[in-house]
Chain A
Amino acid sequence: MTAKGTVHKYGDNVDTDVILPARHLTTTDPNELAKHCMEDIDTAFITRVQAGDIMVAGKNFGCGSSREHAPIAIKASGISCVIAESFARIFYRNAINIGLPIVESAAATKAIANGETVEVDFTRGIVFAGGCEYEIAPFPPFLQNIIQAGGLLPAIQNS
């Protein structure tokens, strides 16, 4: 499994309030949520993003509110993978549980520039960016099962 696309890069401590502002939390429709993705940090994001693009951010990405609407909106906007220096723990769980691929890599995050094209090979555990390769630690088998099932509830359905 691979992801390849143009990078939308952000800084540290991007919180779920700016990813998906609370005023839009009365809907659960992914396509409706996607229209407001990143609205309070980057109003033009939704006009620039193309299917398959990659989001890159600094440390503590997705901090704050537990709203799953945030990763749902990112996934539905077409983002194929989020690479960050670190993730806030609820966002990390939510991304795995809904099948949004995420990668933790401080080295890749620091090297990658906004607008460049980046490729992630999840099977081999490598990020390709700017002619360099960055190794990423594989998920533990327990989480790989959830990811392979397509999320936590499909995994429960299968078991």
Chain B
Amino acid sequence: MGMTITQKILAAHAGLDSVVAGQLIEANLDLVLGNDITAPVAIDEMTKHDLDRVFSQEKIALVMDHFTPCRDIKAAQACQKVRNFAHRHGIKHFFDVGDMGIEHCLLPEKGIVKAGDCIIGADSHTCTYGALGAFSTGVGSTDMAAGMVTGKAWFKVPGAIKFTLTGEFAPHVSGKDLILHIIGMIGVDGALYQSMEFCGPGVANINMENRLTITNMAIEAGAKNGIFPVDEQTIAYMNKAGVTDYTVYEADSDAIYDREIEIDLSQVKPTVAFPHLPENTHTVDSITENIVIDQVVIGSCTNGWYSDLEAAANVLRGQKVAANVRCIIFPGTQQIYLDAMRDGLLEVFIKAGCAVSTPTCGPCLGGHSGCLAQGERAVATTNRNFVGRMGHTESEIYLASPYVAAKAAIAGYLGGDIL
């Protein structure tokens, strides 16, 4: 029986010739990821169960990105716990303030994740690396702990939704608009326990950073993972990151899918998700009443890529952020920050009246550096607009692309006429 890309990667990592949806397997892991929120819980569990050992010094990544640079004493102590663990066990891929970035931007850039890998991460957006043709999924701290000790994880082999993409985006439409469009179509549990597999001639028209944005939000449809086939762009991206030892898996022509959806990229419009679920989508041109906003956040593991900053800068160049808006920019990594500086994007942002931060998850999860007060509204290029996600339970988040967010920052509101 034919297998999907995901099923082929899982079969290979379980030492099996084939797997079928629903099968429980134990797979060997190429990477186990954790951060300053989830790793401390994993480390405590390992200590508690007398399992303070790691299966590999090279196949574990620890990134201090959520509450860093440490927002308070408790955060500092959490980072200290992880730092001590990393040093004690000689963990190669430990990233601290100064060289850390937002984990899901950092690992692809550093070539730590690659096509054909089987990856777990104690962070729900670990599904991002599917853009490179890897099986990659979010887990909790105990799975992370078990993965660090044994190098293995259990999985129920997922079925898949096949998204066949054709055409190309209209100007200023991006991967963010596509994934919001899809979540609006299938719902926040529309791909529960399933893979989202993207294929078709339209894939070649989506750049790698946009693919990473798309797979990043697979979890917002409840998916186990999102995955793209490997093509010339993927290989060029990996080569630039210094990766040569990747494995390419392709779906069988007779692979079985639970559902098939065709999308013509040229028909996708700039799309926004209204509070308080990513499925509450509206195209920007359909917004009839202006929604006055207080803050714009551009960045995060979803949209902290260079091309995202470039899209925002192209809108903000020579413009001013509206007086009622605080606009905060979060580059995904130090390298992206540096590139943005060299190319003059940071100057554009600062002259427009934006604050530019060091890479951090910060306000995306209401952690620090941009929390919202009661009654405030934000347009954000982040991934979740749940109640209280960015601060007060009576604040509101509208999810959008960097282009739309920058337009809203200048207008001071979200409305049908801002583009």
**Which residues in A have some Cβ–Cβ distance to B below 8 Å?**
13, 15, 17-18, 21-23, 25-28, 40-41, 59-60, 63-69, 71-72, 86, 88-90, 93-94, 97-98, 140, 142-143, 151-154, 156-157
B108 within 8 A of A: no
Q: From residue A7, how far is it (CB to closest CB) to chain B in Å?
A: 22
Cα distance A86–B192 when bound, in Å?
Answer: 9
B143 near A64 with CB under 8 A, answer no
Task: Kindly identify which residue among B37, B51, B189, B386 contacts A25, using a CB–CB cutoff of 8 Å.
Answer: B37
Cα distance A71–B224 when bound, in Å?
Answer: 19
B387 near A18 with CB under 8 A, answer yes
B388 within 8 A of A: yes
Cα distance A156–B48 when bound, in Å?
Answer: 13
Within 8 A of A (CB), among B217-271: 219, 222, 224
A residues in contact with B150, CB < 8 Å: 156
Within 8 A of A (CB), among B130-144: 138-143
Residue of A nearest to B71 (CB): A26
A13 near B123 with CB under 8 A, answer no
Q: From residue A91, how far is it (CB to closest CB) to chain B in Å?
A: 8
Task: Kindly identify which residue among A60, A151, A154 contacts B189, using a CB–CB cutoff of 8 Å.
Answer: A60
Known contacts A28-B40, A69-B41; A152/B74 CB under 8 A: no
B41 near A63 with CB under 8 A, answer no
A93 near B139 with CB under 8 A, answer yes
B residues in contact with A21, CB < 8 Å: 366, 388
B142 near A98 with CB under 8 A, answer yes
**Which residues in B have some Cβ–Cβ distance to A below 8 Å?**
24, 37-38, 40-41, 44-46, 48-51, 66-67, 72, 74-75, 77-78, 122-124, 126, 138-143, 145-146, 149-150, 154, 188-189, 192-193, 219, 222, 224, 277, 365-367, 384, 386-389, 393
Cα distance A22–B66 when bound, in Å?
Answer: 10
B49 near A66 with CB under 8 A, answer no
B41 near A68 with CB under 8 A, answer yes
Known contacts A17-B365, A142-B24, A157-B49; A97/B140 CB under 8 A: yes
A66 near B122 with CB under 8 A, answer yes
Cα distance A64–B41 when bound, in Å?
Answer: 18
B386 near A15 with CB under 8 A, answer yes
B49 near A153 with CB under 8 A, answer yes
Q: Taking each of B77, B143, B386, which has the highest tally of chain A beta carbons within 10 Å of its own beta carbon?
A: B386
| Complex A-B: 12 CB contacts under 8 Å | A22-B37, A22-B389, A23-B367, A26-B37, A28-B44, A66-B124, A68-B141, A72-B41, A94-B141, A152-B145, A157-B49, A157-B51
